[in-house]
């Protein structure tokens, strides 16, 4: 199999190079905002479609499972079929199914549309990131491009809460229709700016569809296990958990025997790569669990409107400013690994500050937590993206990008599943006192995830110091 030759690398940031970066960053911003907007709109969706708390999380989880389950296949498709071709094709699919979600009249239709939109994003994301890592020269130019790109993704997560609040105030269906307009504009610009690349001479081995199905099934069963654990018999929980383990084992077996595996398992022997992916999973998982809990607290316990909720959470959007400005300087000054650890440690502080939330907290009481969270995301998200793709050959950039995106998305799905299960288990009745206790219990989920992420990434930093002294 011949890898796709990359176009000439950009040694410096020309006007065209900036234009390309803005288009690709716009796409990842759209993907981030698409998830985040939904969080603010969930109570309105629940009210119109009559969904329970357990069912409600599937509106977001269906997207991230489709995203996380297919992104490795998307990475391989980008490597074999052409990054430009995959980016343009799946941007069209993204437009189509986002529009279908806005037209949904039943909960199952909405969940299905979200899953398909997530699959489209799964092919878009690795194509976009691998276009960056193969177009911009390694070193300062590529790091700057990756940090701007990652900052756009992080900004989408946080600013989406504001945009989602404003759009939901009109009608929740606009959180689906607005991305259609943005994606269509990006599509026009992408056709002009994304460089063409040569097709591979031949591609042998095909695509590992069996591996994709096994991995997606394992992720789905694991999320189902966590979500429904408080509501079903222990035997049912154990059965679905066993099913997830069996499918995961089948995935490993398939990858070992496949002539064209979805994941070259030997790539997972890299300690830094594993730590980057684990950190990514725990960072986004903790953030999504926190957002889900805070939105329910503000709108369903406190009675805040969608706009008020979005504007309050907008403070975390400071990462959209800090990620492309402060973070590159910190990485150059202190090194990528130290910045990652600092960012994850700040997420722990942010969740700790919100943990004692009261029934009458005003915005000023929440402000320290949200501001720290915005800084934390700015420090952790981009450097984790660098850590997950550096020291990987060009012909496997799609795979590395896919692994990282899988970690981001599966972390989001697992974080949502865990916090939903905890809140359901802790809220036996609908009284405000019980609801508040349930939200406090839910806030423990992001706190624990962030602490684990900090410990894992810090262990790599300690190993680096030992190696240097040795």
Which pLDDT score is estimated for 288?
87
Q: Which domain holds residue 174?
A: 14-195
How far is the C-alpha of 202 from the C-alpha of 192, rounded, in Å?
Answer: 27
**How many domains are there within the chain?**
3
**CATH code where residue 404 lies:** 1.20.1250.20
Residue 470 contacts by C-beta under 8 Å, 6 or more apart in sequence? none
The last residue of one of the domains, among 225, 240, 261, is: 261
Q: What is the DSSP letter of 198?
A: P
How far is the C-alpha of 103 from the C-alpha of 41, rounded, in Å?
Answer: 15
| 257 and 278 housed in the same domain | no
The last residue of one of the domains, among 140, 161, 195, is: 195
* Location of structure tokens 């504007």: 311
- Tens digits of pLDDT across the chain (470 residues): 444 454 555 556 778 888 899 999 999 888 878 877 887 888 888 888 887 766 777 887 788 778 877 887 887 788 788 888 899 999 999 989 999 988 888 888 898 999 999 899 889 888 888 888 888 877 778 878 887 887 787 777 767 778 888 888 889 899 999 989 999 999 999 998 888 876 655 555 567 788 888 888 888 888 778 877 777 788 888 998 999 999 999 999 998 888 878 788 877 777 888 899 999 999 999 998 998 899 889 988 899 988 888 888 888 878 778 877 888 899 889 988 899 999 999 999 999 999 999 998 999 999 999 999 999 988 998 889 888 877 777 666 667 777 887 888 788 888 988 898 898 888 766 677 888 999 999 999 999 999 999 999 998 765 544 343 33
Which pLDDT score is estimated for 60?
79
Which pLDDT score is estimated for 198?
66
Q: Is residue 118 part of a domain?
A: yes
Q: Is residue 3 part of a domain?
A: no
| 52 and 185 housed in the same domain | yes
Which pLDDT score is estimated for 23?
92
| 86 and 230 housed in the same domain | no
Residue 57 contacts by C-beta under 8 Å, 6 or more apart in sequence? 227, 292, 416, 417, 420
| 240 and 289 housed in the same domain | no
| 255 and 286 housed in the same domain | no
How far is the C-alpha of 216 from the C-alpha of 210, rounded, in Å?
Answer: 10
| 176 and 227 housed in the same domain | no
3-state SS assignment for residue 136: strand
How far is the C-alpha of 139 from the C-alpha of 383, rounded, in Å?
Answer: 14
Q: Is residue 1 part of a domain?
A: no
Q: Is residue 201 part of a domain?
A: no
| 27 and 163 housed in the same domain | yes
């Amino acid at each position: 199999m011949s890898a796709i030759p990359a176009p000439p690398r950009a040694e410096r940031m020309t006007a065209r190079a900036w234009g390309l970066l803005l288009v690709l960053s716009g796409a990842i911003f759209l993907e981030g905002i698409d998830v985040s907007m939904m969080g603010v709109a969930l109570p309105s969706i629940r009210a119109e479609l009559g969904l329970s708390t357990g069912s409600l999380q599937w509106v977001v989880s269906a997207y991230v499972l489709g995203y996380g389950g297919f992104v490795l296949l998307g990475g391989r498709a980008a490597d074999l079929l052409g990054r430009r071709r995959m980016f343009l094709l799946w941007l069209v699919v993204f437009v189509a199914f986002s529009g279908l979600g806005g037209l949904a009249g039943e909960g199952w239709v909405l969940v299905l549309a979200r899953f398909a939109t997530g699959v489209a994003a799964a092919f878009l994301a690795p194509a976009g990131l691998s276009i960056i890592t193969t177009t911009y020269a390694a070193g300062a130019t590529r790091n700057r491009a990756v940090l701007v790109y990652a900052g756009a993704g992080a900004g989408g997560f946080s600013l989406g809460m504001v945009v989602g609040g404003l759009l939901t105030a009109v009608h929740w269906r606009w959180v689906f229709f607005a991305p259609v307009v943005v994606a269509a504009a990006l599509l026009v610009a992408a056709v002009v700016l994304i460089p063409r690349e040569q097709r591979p001479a031949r591609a042998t081995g095909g695509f590992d569809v069996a591996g994709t199905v096994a991995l997606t099934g394992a992720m789905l069963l694991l999320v189902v296990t966590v979500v429904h654990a408080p509501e079903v018999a222990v035997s049912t929980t154990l059965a679905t958990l066993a099913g997830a383990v069996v499918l995961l084992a089948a995935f490993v077996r398939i990858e070992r025997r496949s002539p064209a595996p979805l994941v070259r398992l030997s790539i997972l022997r890299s300690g830094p790569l594993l730590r980057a992916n684990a950190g990514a999973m725990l960072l986004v998982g903790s953030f999504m669990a926190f957002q889900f809990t805070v939105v329910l607290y503000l709108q369903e316990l406190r009675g805040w409107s969608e706009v008020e909720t979005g504007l309050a959470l907008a403070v975390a959007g400071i990462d959209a400013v800090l990620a492309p400005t402060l973070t590159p300087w910190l990485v150059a000054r202190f090194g990528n690994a130290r910045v990652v650890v600092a960012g994850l440690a700040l997420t722990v502080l942010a969740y700790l500050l919100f943990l004692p939330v009261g029934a009458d907290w005003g915005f000023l009481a929440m402000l320290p937590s949200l501001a720290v969270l915005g800084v934390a995301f700015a420090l952790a998200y981009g450097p984790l993206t660098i850590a997950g793709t550096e020291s990987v050959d060009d012909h496997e950039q799609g795979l590395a990008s896919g692994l990282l995106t899988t970690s981001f998305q599966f972390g989001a799905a697992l974080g949502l599943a865990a916090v939903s299960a905890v809140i359901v288990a802790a809220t036996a009745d609908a009284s405000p006192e019980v609801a508040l206790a349930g939200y406090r219990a839910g806030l423990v989920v992001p706190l624990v995830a962030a602490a684990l992420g900090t410990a894992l990434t810090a262990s790599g930093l300690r190993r680096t110091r030992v190696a240097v002294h040795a």
